[in-house]
Chain A
Amino acid sequence: MSDLDDFLPRDEDNRPIGLENDTASEEARVRLGVVVGGSLSKGITVKLDSSSAVGQTIEDMAVGRYVVAQGLTKRKFFSIVTDIILDNTNPAIEQTPPDPSSPFLADIYRATVAYGRANISPMLMLEEDAKEPRPNKTIPAHFSPVFKATEEDVNQVFGEEDDDHFYIGSPLDMDGVKVNLDLDRFVERSSGVFGKSGTGKSFITRTLLAAVIAKQKASCLIFDMHSDYGWEITNERGKTWKGLTQILASNRPSLYTLDAETSRARNNTISGEFQIQYSDIEPADVEMLSSMLNLSDVQTGALYYLRRKLGKDWVAKLLDEKGSDEIDTIIDEGMLVKGTLSAIQRKFELFRRMDFLVEKSSNNVVTEIFDKLTNGTSVVLEFGKHGDNLPAYMLVANYLTRRVHQRYVEAKNKATTQKGAQPKPLMIVIEEAHKFLDPEIAKHTIFGTIARELRKYNVTLLVVDQRPSGIDDEVMSQIGTRVTALLDNEADIRAVFSGVSGASSLREVLARLDTQQQALILGHAVPMPVVIKTRDYDETLYRAVGYLNEDDQQTAYESAKSDFDEGYL
């Protein structure tokens, strides 16, 4: 024992007391390399360490992986890997590479002349004593070491799971580490879920919706085109996943359907049948379908004239095969060319195949749905057999959204002027969003309006789409949070990153995602872009949003009964 031991006491294992944490945390970190160059705008270059296992450091790297550069001033730079490069100090080695049968030469060159580089994009930085990371304004100095991110690093950025933060997946190769989405920020602005067909958009969307509804962050109006969200779905191998109305026990959404027959055949518990009276249809409801119905500008303009002349039963009158005096008068007066009128009538024949359009409906389903939404109950509208009928989907979505939005505007204005209660935030979920938000019509449709006005009237969109390049640029720039599964079309990738600073470095990341259960999340609801393996949509998730299976229900019943018997209730 030396005199120094009085000043630096040691533990039983002869380790200096007080240094355990530092040593442990250093050991837990896996060093990948050192910073050798780069810039704030174009990203940082890291020279990868040569590992003892041949090629391991390079081949273990993956674009989208989450790494931390430890600055020399103890700042941590949270970064994402955007590219991996094989480099060398002398190009001659490319002309005369070592013989693979000579491990001696290859080992030496691999550690020296030939080496790996990674480009990383710093997104956030954490000052030494700060608790919250801040947006990056500087870069790590030369030769700062770069480590694989640890669970602690991820938690520092994405926070703990709580009522406002929902676990939606794990960073790549970090199973069990939670990336939590800020739900308040997610519903605060319009959001999007993008990805090519078959990449799991519906599962991601269902997870997001389950979280928003379970945590009561917003009421959701879901236009469920392919019956993906409301009730359980079954894949081709017979595996089933429960729908939102089944797993959300305490905030169960109401399920409406356009096709009661199919819903009943699936044993869905429906709250009501959605029907539209011909007399309730306005020209603006049809206008969005103009490209699909192939209505010319003249014909589209004529719709408003016909509505004014024929009254609220204008659609029924146009579809009446017997004709009417009023229509004859319009022709006779020369206000409309007969050809135009005939073309409109011919194109309106499409409505006859939409059996949810009726002469007379017994209930006022729009009011019913609005009341539910403002009371905090979400609504899923299933399309059943109309799911493959895009005009039907667009007509209904447009029809209902226009009316619900109008009432929200009125409620919000009333709340503002009379200092009353604000309407519950509403998130409207539409699929095939590029059909609604096409650049040619986005400026004139209710969906374009909602996306542009942000949360002015407490109404936002959640757009689900596989062709984001078809969505109006101005609308895309207003999408706050973008959850993107694999996209391989260059135009779609460009569209997803429109309005995102420093996005160029993330393009490679997006194009390299797995086809299943991987997504890049960026924008308003996450502190920095992150690639995640999305969490499984399974029993664990069901329980996280309040689902009680039979055992849980029995336990809850017995607990309540016991309390009752003991006089607590």
Chain B
Amino acid sequence: MSPIQIGQLLHSSIQSFTFGCAIPKPEMPHFGAFVKVPIQNGTAHAIGTIYNIVLEDDDLVRQIVGNQDTPIEIIQDQRQRQMPIEVSVLTLGYMQGTKVRTGLPPQPPLTLSHIALCEHTEIAALTSDFNFLRLIFQASDAPTDELTVRVLEQAAQAHPNRAQYLRTAGQYLAQLMGNDFQRLDTILRRLESLL
């Protein structure tokens, strides 16, 4: 089965990249999803997680918003326009062949590269240890606490013992964030609610 492609790259760096896509369907792309993009002429893939989705406005939208009772037909027309949605991805690792590594890739992906959703096996390989959580906490412009919960929720589904995975992740977080007990406690309570 070929991977589900969800967009094309707009701009990138070693640490993150942004891709554009059409109006999102309810199930994709979504916050915390694992995606991949080819790098190094397709010999490898950068893997990351979606940490932001931005829908920009334009003058037409501003005009329509000014009209208090917008007819449904106009709203549907607006949704059919070719206005790209910008999706930001935080790079967590990269994959060469079947080997998945946590950390930043050697090169950024090139523009217009196709973005695809990761397979469960790829997510399981990337999240088998918890070093990727450090990259999330180092991200300056991502909502790290919320992203952590969502990413671990995704990762737990890729592992056979979901509850045990979340418990081990919690222990790792406790070591990582022991000094900031209030934040840690909030995240752990969110993880507990996922059980």
Contacts and interface: CB of A to CB of B under 8 A. Distances in A.
A112 interface: yes
A358 interface: no
B174 interface: yes
B195 A90 contact: no
A92 B185 CA distance: 10
A90 B177 CA distance: 10
Contact of B188 (A89, A90, A92, A108): A108
Given A104-B167, A108-B167, A90 B192 contact: no
A104 B192 contact: yes
A249 B179 CA distance: 69
A40 interface: no
Summarize B's interface: helix, strand, loop or mixed: helix
Given A108-B171, A109-B174, A111-B171, A90 B181 contact: yes
Interface in A223-241: none
Contact of A112 (B171, B185, B191): B171
A105 B189 contact: yes
A93 B178 CA distance: 10
Contacts of A267: none
B179 A90 contact: yes
Contacts of A90: 178-179, 181
Contacts of A111: 171, 174
Nearest to B194: A104
A113 B167 contact: no
A438 interface: no
Interface in B166-193: 166-167, 170-171, 174-175, 178-179, 181-182, 184-185, 188-189, 191-192
Given A108-B170, A111-B171, A113-B174, A102 B192 contact: yes
A109 B184 CA distance: 10
A104 B171 CA distance: 10
A92 B195 contact: no
B90 to A, nearest CB: 25
Contacts of B175: 112
Label chain A's interface by main secondary structure: helix
A89 B175 CA distance: 9
B168 to A, nearest CB: 9
A123 B192 CA distance: 46
B167 A107 contact: yes
A105 B188 contact: yes
A90 B185 CA distance: 12
A96 B184 CA distance: 12
A92 B183 CA distance: 12
A536 B122 CA distance: 64
Interface in A503-522: none
A92 B192 contact: no
A96 B181 CA distance: 9
Contact of B182 (A92, A105, A107): A92
B170 A104 contact: yes
Interface in A93-149: 93, 96, 102, 104-105, 107-109, 111-113
Contacts of A105: 170, 185, 188-189, 192
A105 B186 CA distance: 11
Contacts of B189: 105
Contacts of B185: 96, 105
Contact of B178 (A89, A102, A104): A89
Interface string B92-121: 000000000000000000000000000000
A452 B195 CA distance: 72
Contacts of B174: 108-109, 111-113
B181 A113 contact: yes
B39 to A, nearest CB: 36
B130 to A, nearest CB: 13
Nearest to A102: B192
A92 B174 CA distance: 13
A89 B180 CA distance: 10
Contacts of B166: 104
Nearest to B188: A105
A136 to B, nearest CB: 33
Nearest to A104: B192
B188 A93 contact: no
B191 to A, nearest CB: 8
B153 to A, nearest CB: 14
A390 B181 CA distance: 65
Nearest to B172: A112
A90 B181 CA distance: 7
Contacts of A108: 167, 170-171, 174, 188
Contacts of B178: 89-90, 112-113
Contacts of A109: 174
Contacts of A104: 166-167, 170, 188, 191-192, 195
A489 to B, nearest CB: 42
Contacts of B188: 104-105, 108
A93 B170 CA distance: 15
B165 to A, nearest CB: 12
A113 B188 CA distance: 13
A92 B171 CA distance: 17
Contacts of A112: 171, 174-175, 178
B7 to A, nearest CB: 36
A92 B178 CA distance: 10
22 contacts: A89-B179, A90-B181, A93-B181, A96-B185, A104-B166, A104-B170, A104-B188, A104-B192, A104-B195, A105-B185, A105-B188, A107-B167, A108-B167, A108-B171, A108-B174, A109-B174, A111-B171, A112-B171, A112-B178, A113-B178, A113-B181, A113-B184
Interface of B: 166-167, 170-171, 174-175, 178-179, 181-182, 184-185, 188-189, 191-192, 195
Given A105-B192, A113-B178, 4 more contacts: A90-B181, A104-B191, A108-B188, A112-B178
Task: Please give me the 9 A-B residue pairs with the lowest Cβ-Cβ distance, nearest first.
Answer: A112-B174, A92-B181, A108-B170, A89-B178, A104-B192, A90-B181, A113-B174, A112-B171, A111-B171
